[in-house]
Amino acid sequence: GSIRRRKETIGDADILIAGSSPKKVIDYFVSLPDIVKIWARGSTKASVRMSEGFDVDLRVLPEKSFGSALQYFTGSKEHNIALRKIAINKGLKLSEYGLFRGSKMIAGETEKEIYEKLGLKWIPPELRENVGEIEASQKRKLPKLIELKDIKGDLHCHSHWGDGKRLIEEIAETAMAMGYEYIGISDHTKFLHIEHGLDEKQLAEQRKEIDKINKQFIVHNLKFKVLQGCEANIMADGSIDISDEALAKLDYVIAGVHSQMKMSKEQMTKRIIKAIENPNVDIISHPTGRILKHREEYEIDFDKILKVAKETGTILEINANPYRLDLNDKNIRKAKEMGVKMIINSDAHHKDQLNLMEYGVSQARRGWADKEDVINCWSVEKMLSMLK
């Protein structure tokens, strides 16, 4: 269901099993630890409540029906209704048990054959929301969606330089182990005291350390580069909390709103646009400011922001932190259609959080993005040449 479609929030979990001994599977399933209530238990299905507070539904079907069941339980409901209409128009019947012409099953073992018999190319689960994916599939115009393996680096990583907790070398080593070609250190700047925000002098000192690390990589013949950026603060009037002279010396500049988030739509839009128009600002971090289930997006005119980002060549971030996932899927698709480039960043505050990248990639896929839309799928040279 929503897990396979990689939705931002999940209500419950569905498990599908192909097998010829459903009773044995169900008996085992309902006896698992952490189950606090059994809602239902039948010959081929069971539903339980977990101690964490969510439900898990299990379905056991024969192997010949696995593809059609997988398609059915993945959803979305709207996507499934549209597929059933296509089936009816072809004189067929589609259900979780298979695709039938009268009583004869003509497909069901794989999802691919279900889609093919309906005259469609297989549709990636993340796109199945009935928002144009069926028409694109019919015309053979589905995008070749971005994949995790396409990512070559991450430009939004916090080292909290100077407090000794997250060393730049450790972040670089983790990134290399992930197969990246580069990593960007983007510590907060001076307005955010609580986050050890760096001032102009500290940024210059940090640069010396990064240059030293890069020289060591060259000595050891390692084709890996540490880039220096920052996550500067967009102040209430749209100015940046670090001097332009200091920003100009960095490899790239990320800027984001971290305060006074309840401004009017007009004020907030104007504030972000002023930052976008700054010739030193390359990337806008978590552009709408939402935190899932905690804080709504700012009031902004996103279309206006997209227009200016396109004119200035400013990149919009897809923040991969599962609490943010900002941009959302609809805004990613809008940016893609407008020709505004994006970057997927982990916003890691610990080296282990570099692995959050997968959630950002899922979000980009839900927004129909391919690797040409996302600049950290590019080589370091091509990516840097794209920046201001």
Q: Is residue 225 within 8 Å of 238, Cβ to Cβ?
A: no
DSSP string, 104-160: EEEE-S-HHHHHHHTT-----GGG-SSSSHHHHHHTT-------GGG--EEEEE---
pLDDT for 24 beyond 90? yes
Task: Decide if pLDDT at 164 tops 50.
Answer: no
Strand 98-101 and strand 104-107: pairing? antiparallel
Query: Token pair 């992930």 is at which residue?
Result: 178
Query: What pLDDT shows up at residue 197?
Result: 83
Nearest to 175 by CA among 158, 147, 160, 154: 154
Decide: residue 368, CB within 10 A, 0-12 exposed, 13-18 middle, 19+ buried. buried
Tell me: cis bond preceding 239? Omega within 30 of 0 counts: no
Of the pLDDT bands very low, low, confident and very high (cuts 50, 70, 90), residue 340 is: very high
The arithmetic mean of pLDDT across residues 333-348, rounded, is 97
Q: What is the DSSP letter of 349?
A: S
Q: Which helix (H) or strand (E) holds 36?
A: strand 35-41
Tokens in use for 127? 């796109």
Structure-token pair, residue 189: 């700047």
| Tokens at 360, concatenated | 């950002």
Nearest in space to 157 (alpha carbons), one of 242, 229, 253, 80: 229
368, 332 contact by CB (below 8 A): yes
pLDDT above 80: residue 3: yes
Distance between CA 309 and CA 301 in Å, rounded? 13
Residue 39: count other Cβ atoms within 10 Å of its Cβ: 11
Helical ranges in 50-120 per DSSP H? 66-74, 77-89, 111-117
Residues 272-301: tens digit of each pLDDT: 999 999 999 999 999 999 999 999 999 999
Alpha-helical (H) ranges within the chain are 22-30, 66-74, 77-89, 111-117, 133-138, 168-177, 200-219, 244-248, 265-277, 302-312, 329-338, 357-366, 380-386
Edge to edge, the sheet with strand 104-107 lists 93-95, 98-101, 104-107
Percent of the chain whose predicted confidence (pLDDT) is above 90: 93
Statement: the pTM of the whole predicted model exceeds 0.85: yes
Give the model's pLDDT for residue 165. 57
At residue 193, the pLDDT reads 62
Instruction: Give the residue-averaged pLDDT of 95-100.
Output: 96
pLDDT at residue 171 is higher than 60: yes
CB 299 within 8 Å of CB 267: no
Taking Cα atoms as reference points, which of 215, 250, 232 lies closest to residue 387?
Answer: 250
Q: What is the pLDDT of residues 102-120, one digit of tens each?
A: 999 999 999 999 999 999 9
Q: What is the DSSP letter of 295?
A: B
Alpha-carbon span 336 to 318, nearest angstrom:
12
Quote the mean pLDDT of the chain.
95
Using pLDDT thresholds of 50, 70 and 90, give the confidence band for residue 195.
low
